[in-house]
Structure 1
Amino acid sequence: MWIRREERLAMSYFGQEESIFSQYGTNVEQTLATIAERYIGANPSHPFVYRLFNREGFTRLHDYRYDMDLAKKWPDMRNGQVVYTWAKLWMDQPAELNFGMSCYGPAKVYVNGKLAYASNISDDVAPERKNVFRAMLNKGWNPVVVQYLKTASGCGGQFGTGSYKNFPLHFMNPTPEREGWEGWIYSEPTERDLLPLLADGLFEQDNALRWYPSAQWSETELAQGTFGRQFGTVAGRSALAWTKVESLLPGTQAISWRGSHEGSIALYINGELAYSAPASGEFCVDAELLFGLNNVVVVSECLGSRWGFRLQGAEVSGDVAWLQPVPVKGLADHWLYLGTFAQEKVPAIHELGEMHHVYDDGGEGTYWRADHPETWVRPYLENPLFGKWNYPLGVTLYGLMQTGAALGRQDYVDYVLKHIEQCTSVDAYSLWDAARYGAPGVNNQLALMDSLDDCGSFGATMLTAARFHEPEGARAVAGRIAHYITQVQDRLQDGVLYRVRGSVDFMKDTLWCDDLYMSVPFMCRYFEFTQDASILDDAVKQILLYKKYLYMPELQIMSHVYDFKFNKQTEVPWGRGNGWVLFSLAELLLTLPENHVQRDELLAFFRELCAGYLRLQGTNGLWHQVLTDPESYEETSCTSMFLYAFARGIRLGWLTDAQPYVRAVRKGWEGLTRISIDKHGHIYGVCRGSGYSFAARYYKDELSWLLNDTHGIGIVMLAGVEVRSMIRDLQSK
């Protein structure tokens, strides 16, 4: 008898000797610790990367594509001329990626020297159309060149990442002169074919054309002084320069610095005033450095047409090294600059190390920059997972945090808090960055919030984390999320949350059971945080309205989606979608006051769903990708959510006939440890992020599982935590 490919996969995630069960049996604590430590080890807590960016280059659109309108850059360009844009992308591993292009005229995209996309005559006159294509990228640097032809319709395009929600691509300047800078460079108009010349590592000065935006000052600009060329010369305005000096000798050592300045000057070392003068002149500073890093700050006020300072080499009794105040990719020297300010708004010296801080300049706000034309410092998230804000990571961190609390592992909790605070502390900056540059380098989903996915799941984890330590910025973020869910997210007339639009057209006008988890747990946590009963009542309302649209009473389970284009359910019981419903209902029941008028109705629904899911548990203890199809693969994330809710329902008395559920939990946990978790803590069998379909075969045959997918890691840990609590509770009784 032939075995279907899907069945082979489900039966053989790994050999039984490789399972976590072969090491620890069903021991929950050891299993949880193994999963947690693998995840933390694979995703170290790296900070954001700071890079230089030239604001006279291309800014971005909401979907992270760069707006390359070259007819605006070169208004006198002739029809028939071409302009080249040039950048490079780094890849840790070979991968095929999506790219998106909307054309203002004819365009060709070359990746690693090979043609990846060429517009057709229809694309050339349809700038509103996003053309998605795929290209293979190699490990390491991948040069990307776009050739734009000028016609009467225009020149250029909107080009960049095709999947901005999860993978916003940051392109880097390609030439050695701008190594480490983010963004693209572009050529002057030409009739020449430059493609053979645009090789990785080519210097701009060796090229046949001039490249823009300009990275170097003109002689006239250089003569205006350090501050004058960057900020202009408005009398009475002040600016700051910041660097660090490392003293390599123990104790203290004397220094003697000489220099000159135009405008007033105040020089601070480690926050202490070392020298000041009210007008231009020369100076000599005698001071002491401490062992290690020393902050050096220059504050100056503009008094005339030249404005700046020069600090010459130090005469010291030991060795010193000049260092950048924070590591900035592309910064060739060691100074950062900030300005300009009216006298009453000059930042305090102790504030300058806060790189997530936008400084009040009396206008739109300002941030650090470098001594190049219109060149600013910006943070970028370049970690695959740590420091990212998205809904699967919200569940992952929730599971890791609860595991740390259950096992008494403060290091797990601290890791979660650090991840969350890396996001929340830069929230105000990322909003400013998005307004200034089109799309921020960090917090892309939080800053450009436009769906429940972007806020509710991670927001709920953030508020749970606040029980341990309130992350910096969390209160403001929570308020923005609550406002979005209650005031902005689309609803039908009856108040139910739904999707009036989607990332693709077919998702428009749909209601997904997934969205209960993207809303209800946050509402519960926000109620606990603020005691605003209205948001808890809204959570109750959502559960009951989703039941109205998605419940299939004959099976006592849920359809994945209701499609208002057809005014009917899809009638496909996707495993994880059902898991989200029961998981969210279990979170609500834990929060809901015992005397709430609708608590009994919700408890009855919880019991109905549990009965429906209990009947569908598979032979090995797991539930299947399509709940009613035992030939679909055994899926880990829905199994974990059912176990989580069952175990909680047993422990808290929500399930009055508990024994069948106790057996189901024991069987399910053993199934996970035998089938889904290997001895190294890797998680198998988690369905990848989904679309939806009226056809069950989409979920069964096309919606495959991924190794260590973040949709499942945290949920497995949460199931383990609840199973452990249930076992302890039953033992105590």
Structure 2
Amino acid sequence: MKPFHYFSKEVSMSHSHSIEDILLTVAQRYIGTNPSRPPAYRVTRKNSIKKDQHHRYVFPVLEMFPEIQPGQKVYAWAKLWAEEDHTFPFLLTCLGPVRLYHNGVKRFGSTHEEESTDIRLSLDLVKGWNHFVLEIEKGLHGCGAVFGTGNRKNYPYHFFSPSLDRDGEEGWIYTKPMEETLDSVPSLSCKESSTGCNWFPKKTRLLENEGQLANIYGLKTGYSAYAWTKIECCSLEPLILKGKTYGPLKLYVNGQKLFQNEEQGEIDISVTVPIGLHDVVVESECGNHNWGFLLELISNQAELQIPYDVKGISSPWLFLGPFPKDETIKISDYMSMDTVAVNKDRDTFFWCSENGDNVRAFLENPLFGKWNYPLGVTLYGLLEVAKELSKSEVIDYVLNHIEFATSRYEYSKWDQKQYGAAGINNQLSDIDSLDDCGSFGALMILANKQRPLKGAGKIAETIADYIMNQQSRLADGALYRQIGVSRKMDNTMWCDDMYMSVPFLLGYAELTKDGSYVDEAVRQLLLYKNYLYIEENQLMSHVYHVKEKKPTLTTWGRGNGWVLFSLTELLKVLPDHHEHYPEILTFYRQFAEGCLKVQGSHGLWHQVLTDPESYEESSCTSMFIYAFANGVRFGWIDDKEPYIQAIMSGWKGLTERAIDKQGNVYGVCQGSSYSFSNSYYKHELPWKLNDTHGIGIVLLAGTETMRMLKSQVKLVENVNIG
């Protein structure tokens, strides 16, 4: 067999480096590539074009324009950002004749047979802005379209308003029905007027002689609302705030009330503040005929500025309300921009000073702040490394990532309800699989012990309820996927789902002091053994097909890793007096022995465990190292020596063949589908550089190797002392 190398040995993270140095290099590379950044806040205008639950935009042209005639067309235009050139799968449903243009070039035109069907389109996105135009025509049988990501939860793309007039806004703009065809389809950002078309929704500006709160909320006698801006001051000279109020008003600077008026009138106050940024809050009450205010800062050394970076906004003010006057509101509770304001009428978030313009949060970081199952393991690895090496800054990074998601859970549920699909927490806000909740939920419970995380308690309850009461089960109680991500995945049971459920159940049992969740974890692992364990080679089949009532008999490396990983997590907490402890321990030992037998010649395990010609795969290698190291350290393995050798050989293989000097991790299989053939895993399921399915488990493998070595040293020392 021809030797396979991911890189030249000269650039490897050689075995001469200490384990600590290797772990820190991998961890620091990941953090440096994915710095801590807040969400992107964008203006979203009141628009008939919204996302559906699958994160695709719905163009309900017949509802928008009931008068549209056959042959007339509506154009919809938006842009999408790409970090690099790549091909991406989109999904287009034609509800009548539809043509799709990408960067000015027609990429698709529907035939009569393709109307009312889903069309998968692989489009080559270019680095930077990509402009999309849909030409939606009234046909004989319908009119409209649904368009967007073909990978809803992994890549829930949101589109941006494409014109220079609306720079920074989220959403599509569109024309009214027209007879003629556009002479030139827009392919880059420009002024809307230059296209020769009027584009909607129209921007509604506040007139200077109107109260802006009446413009935003209407007349709401008996209600109040809040406006928030900041003063950026470069001088210690007094500042003048001057303007008028259209109803009762209170004005605060840095929480201190400086002005109050019980009716309409003039505002003219002087304030001195230190150099820097300062919060200005106006509490405005609706009068009998109007409400709101005008306020100007008179100074050459200071200016009003938007209090949070909101893209697409033209005013320095954000507005929150309306609230019944008898409700006590503490505006500072909402200045973190992660909390929906709840009142007896309706829940609300911040608005702009234009009618119908909401502020929304979007996750635009590639990884930081994202909630998904591979990141659950990635951050688990970072957290354990940081704890072992006393790196408080890494612990803070992990906790901040998790709290980015947990603190915005309630907001994301509200956003989903308002707009069809949330711009943030796309998986957490719409749990419909174990992938959506279990792995990251287990991490969340573990991290919550480091410091209380906002929202974590309620989310844990939600996930527990989903796993115990909502996830599909067979008659014997085994978890399975009645509905999969694709129709091919319907009615299947995956090794992967042990890690997507068991660690969370164990964490929730500790959190609630309820041992029944441990019992459920035990039950699931033993049920999965019944369906997927292959006795003759002591390995697991990746998938069991429920409808066909047979396992695939494919020994995919990471699939086996998920199960041995989960067994390890269970044995760490399962009392030895538990009625199923002997059975679980025997399963672990038999399975570990099977994995030991198929370790590759370079210390790594292969993508297909029983096929040494398949590529050396880093994530399953790391999972087996982790499981073996725990087994040695906790005494689950009687004959330790072969496993210690396997651990050291595996770690040496990783550091010489799969981790380079910069801390890049190679050879991690990308996310998978499944097959009854090993050929799919070997030839059609490639590895990816720095894939999050592998980084964290590499860190866990190194950490557990380090802990195991320390435990063996202590054991020898104790023997010598004895």
* TM-score (structure 1 length as normaliser): 0.96
- Which stretches of structure 1, 4 residues or longer, exceed 3 Å deviation after superposition? none
Q: Deviations over 1:344-390 (max 9, x none)?
A: 22522322412111112322301101112211000111011111110
- Once structures 1 and 2 are overlaid, which stretch shifts more, 346-355 or 553-562? 346-355
Structure 2 residue 20 is the aligned partner of structure 1 residue 29? yes
* Residue of structure 1 equivalent to 2:111: 120
Q: Which of 571, 576, 580 is the equivalent residue of 1:589?
A: 571
Structure 2 residue 2 is the aligned partner of structure 1 residue 18? no
* Residue of structure 1 equivalent to 2:700: 718
Q: Which of 138, 142, 153 is the equivalent residue of 2:130?
A: 142
Q: Deviations over 1:600-641 (max 9, x none)?
A: 110000000011111111111111111111111111111110
1:692 is displaced (CA, Å) by 0.3
* Residue of structure 2 equivalent to 1:157: 145
Structure 2 residue 521 is the aligned partner of structure 1 residue 531? no
Once residues 555 and 575 of structure 1 are traced to their aligned partners in structure 2, the CA distance between those partners, rounded to angstroms, is 14
Q: Which of 263, 267, 275 is the equivalent residue of 2:247?
A: 263
Once residues 346 and 472 of structure 2 are traced to their aligned partners in structure 1, the CA distance between those partners, rounded to angstroms, is 31
Structure 2 residue 219 is the aligned partner of structure 1 residue 225? no
Equivalent residues of 1:339, 1:361 under 8 A apart: no
Q: Which of 480, 496, 511 is the equivalent residue of 2:478?
A: 496
Equivalent residues of 1:57, 1:183 under 8 A apart: no
Structure 2 residue 231 is the aligned partner of structure 1 residue 245? yes
Q: Which of 388, 392, 415 is the equivalent residue of 1:410?
A: 392
1:476 is displaced (CA, Å) by 1.0
Equivalent runs, 1:259-658 vs 2, <5 Å: 259-314=243-298, 316=299, 319-345=301-327, 347-658=329-640
Q: Which of 639, 660, 685 is the equivalent residue of 1:703?
A: 685
Q: Deviations over 1:29-55 (max 9, x none)?
A: 111011001111111111101000012
Number of aligned residues: 715
Equivalent residues of 1:26, 1:670 under 8 A apart: no
1:407 is displaced (CA, Å) by 1.1
* Residue of structure 2 equivalent to 1:730: 712
Q: Deviations over 1:295-352 (max 9, x none)?
A: 11111111123322111341x4x61121111010011120111111101225223224
Equivalent residues of 1:624, 1:632 under 8 A apart: yes
Amino acid aligned to 1:46 = R
Structure 2 residue 202 is the aligned partner of structure 1 residue 214? yes
Q: Deviations over 1:54-95 (max 9, x none)?
A: 122411111100111111111111111000000001112111
Amino acid aligned to 1:51 = R
- Once structures 1 and 2 are overlaid, which stretch shifts more, 58-67 or 194-203? 194-203
1:253 is displaced (CA, Å) by 3.5
Amino acid aligned to 2:292 = G
Distance 1:165 1:264, change over 3 A: same
Determine helix, strand or coil for the equivalent of 2:364. coil
Determine helix, strand or coil for the equivalent of 2:238. strand
Once residues 80 and 454 of structure 1 are traced to their aligned partners in structure 2, the CA distance between those partners, rounded to angstroms, is 44
Once residues 636 and 17 of structure 2 are traced to their aligned partners in structure 1, the CA distance between those partners, rounded to angstroms, is 25
Q: Deviations over 1:440-463 (max 9, x none)?
A: 111101101110001000111111
Q: Which of 644, 666, 679 is the equivalent residue of 1:684?
A: 666
Equivalent residues of 2:230, 2:305 under 8 A apart: yes
Amino acid aligned to 1:107 = V
Equivalent residues of 1:69, 1:104 under 8 A apart: no
* Residue of structure 2 equivalent to 1:235: 221
* Residue of structure 1 equivalent to 2:720: none
Once residues 507 and 178 of structure 1 are traced to their aligned partners in structure 2, the CA distance between those partners, rounded to angstroms, is 41
Equivalent residues of 1:337, 1:371 under 8 A apart: yes
Distance 1:319 1:366, change over 3 A: same
Determine helix, strand or coil for the equivalent of 2:92. strand
Determine helix, strand or coil for the equivalent of 1:71. helix
Determine helix, strand or coil for the equivalent of 2:77. strand
Once residues 711 and 296 of structure 2 are traced to their aligned partners in structure 1, the CA distance between those partners, rounded to angstroms, is 71
Please give the root-mean-square deviation of Cα atoms over the aligned residues, in Å. Answer: 1.4
Equivalent residues of 1:94, 1:136 under 8 A apart: yes
Equivalent residues of 2:481, 2:492 under 8 A apart: yes
Equivalent residues of 2:334, 2:340 under 8 A apart: no
Determine helix, strand or coil for the equivalent of 2:123. strand
Once residues 714 and 118 of structure 2 are traced to their aligned partners in structure 1, the CA distance between those partners, rounded to angstroms, is 61
Once residues 266 and 154 of structure 1 are traced to their aligned partners in structure 2, the CA distance between those partners, rounded to angstroms, is 54
Structure 2 residue 118 is the aligned partner of structure 1 residue 130? yes
Amino acid aligned to 1:263 = G
Once residues 275 and 244 of structure 1 are traced to their aligned partners in structure 2, the CA distance between those partners, rounded to angstroms, is 16
Q: Deviations over 1:271-313 (max 9, x none)?
A: 1111111111112112222321111111111112332211134
Equivalent residues of 2:206, 2:354 under 8 A apart: no
Equivalent residues of 1:271, 1:349 under 8 A apart: no
Once residues 207 and 582 of structure 1 are traced to their aligned partners in structure 2, the CA distance between those partners, rounded to angstroms, is 60
Once residues 546 and 147 of structure 1 are traced to their aligned partners in structure 2, the CA distance between those partners, rounded to angstroms, is 50
Equivalent residues of 1:111, 1:145 under 8 A apart: yes
Determine helix, strand or coil for the equivalent of 2:243. strand
Once residues 612 and 17 of structure 1 are traced to their aligned partners in structure 2, the CA distance between those partners, rounded to angstroms, is 34
Once residues 206 and 256 of structure 2 are traced to their aligned partners in structure 1, the CA distance between those partners, rounded to angstroms, is 36
The percentage of aligned residue pairs carrying the same residue is 45
Equivalent residues of 1:214, 1:373 under 8 A apart: no
Equivalent residues of 2:48, 2:60 under 8 A apart: no
Q: Which of 145, 152, 160 is the equivalent residue of 1:172?
A: 160
Determine helix, strand or coil for the equivalent of 1:151. coil
1:195 is displaced (CA, Å) by 5.3
Equivalent residues of 1:26, 1:669 under 8 A apart: no
Once residues 621 and 195 of structure 1 are traced to their aligned partners in structure 2, the CA distance between those partners, rounded to angstroms, is 63
Determine helix, strand or coil for the equivalent of 1:344. coil
Determine helix, strand or coil for the equivalent of 2:583. helix
- Once structures 1 and 2 are overlaid, which stretch shifts more, 300-309 or 70-79? 300-309
1:223 is displaced (CA, Å) by 5.3
Once residues 197 and 490 of structure 1 are traced to their aligned partners in structure 2, the CA distance between those partners, rounded to angstroms, is 47
Amino acid aligned to 1:28 = I
* Residue of structure 2 equivalent to 1:64: 55
Once residues 58 and 329 of structure 1 are traced to their aligned partners in structure 2, the CA distance between those partners, rounded to angstroms, is 20
* Residue of structure 1 equivalent to 2:718: none
Equivalent residues of 1:109, 1:117 under 8 A apart: yes
Once residues 205 and 344 of structure 1 are traced to their aligned partners in structure 2, the CA distance between those partners, rounded to angstroms, is 47
* Residue of structure 2 equivalent to 1:84: 75
Structure 2 residue 90 is the aligned partner of structure 1 residue 102? no
Determine helix, strand or coil for the equivalent of 1:79. coil
Determine helix, strand or coil for the equivalent of 1:623. coil
* TM-score (structure 2 length as normaliser): 0.97
Equivalent residues of 1:256, 1:284 under 8 A apart: yes
Determine helix, strand or coil for the equivalent of 1:235. coil
> Structure 2 regions of 5+ residues with no counterpart?
716-722
Determine helix, strand or coil for the equivalent of 1:312. strand
